[in-house]
Structure 1
Amino acid sequence: MLVRTPVARTSAALAATALTALLLAGCGQDDDPSVATPSTTPTSAAPTSAAATTPAATPTGTPSAAASTPAVDQQITVTIAKRRVDPPTGRVTVSKGELVRITVTSDVADELHVHGYDLGARLPAGTPGSVEFRADKTGLFEVETHDSGLVLFQLVVR
């Protein structure tokens, strides 16, 4: 890839460094997450070829799912406080091909990880971190935090 501007070279170098650190750190699983920089507005953490998952209506007690913008089919928002997941851990079902955004706010610094899609985001304490992707793989995928080891929910893509 040809990078011509100093800003683009710096961004490429930072992305490569972050990816290398993640690959070396691992999560105890066979998949390696991509890390997105947290922001108040969700950022894409998946390569353009990755698919997103979108949650369908779920029963009470599972992560909330609501469309937030026309571009995103499903928005899943989770809050972690004192090691408690809100809404409580459950399953979120989405249809294959939907664009999904997962936003997590934790009271302690951590890392969000979507298994099977190899996606992740840093979670600075009190600051939302997001991943956005197209659900192109069917199956059951855990969404967890790495440092605290909390399962946030299980994503079902049909």
Structure 2
Amino acid sequence: MSNSDIIATASVVVAALAFFTTAWQTWVAHKHSRLSVKPFLSWGTTRNNTHQAFEVIVALSNFGVGPAIVRERYFTLDGCHFESPDGRSAVEALVEKLLPDDWGCRVAGQGLPGEGTAIPPGATIRIARLLFRPVVFEEQGELARLMERVRFVVVYDDLYDNRDVFRT
């Protein structure tokens, strides 16, 4: 094997390594770009107790960097898909089904994201604001147990059409 053959072979090896390194760097950059616009949904509950009423606010927030594009959203009750039987809002139907009248609950506000809606980064959507009669401390645990029977599910896409599911 002559010197020129060795140099030619070494050139081919270096070129192949450069090609694979470039392809790998491109893949890493693409993966980083996808992750850098990923939404991160979170569920929050706020409770306020005053002499006039006990207020519960449940909200959905996007703490990610990219928007979450809602494809489907629904409630479950005891693990089963829940839909309003009479066309009312799902929140109102759930309150009626879940909470006895002696809780004195009324829906003071609601805002379910529609299908196709984008939840932008940093946004918080108030799903429901519920007002109850004044509640003593011991009753708050019972109310929390009742509300644990309900889950909220959001099927959403990121900007790259990667599907994900958020469950409370």
| TM-score, with structure 1 as normaliser | 0.28
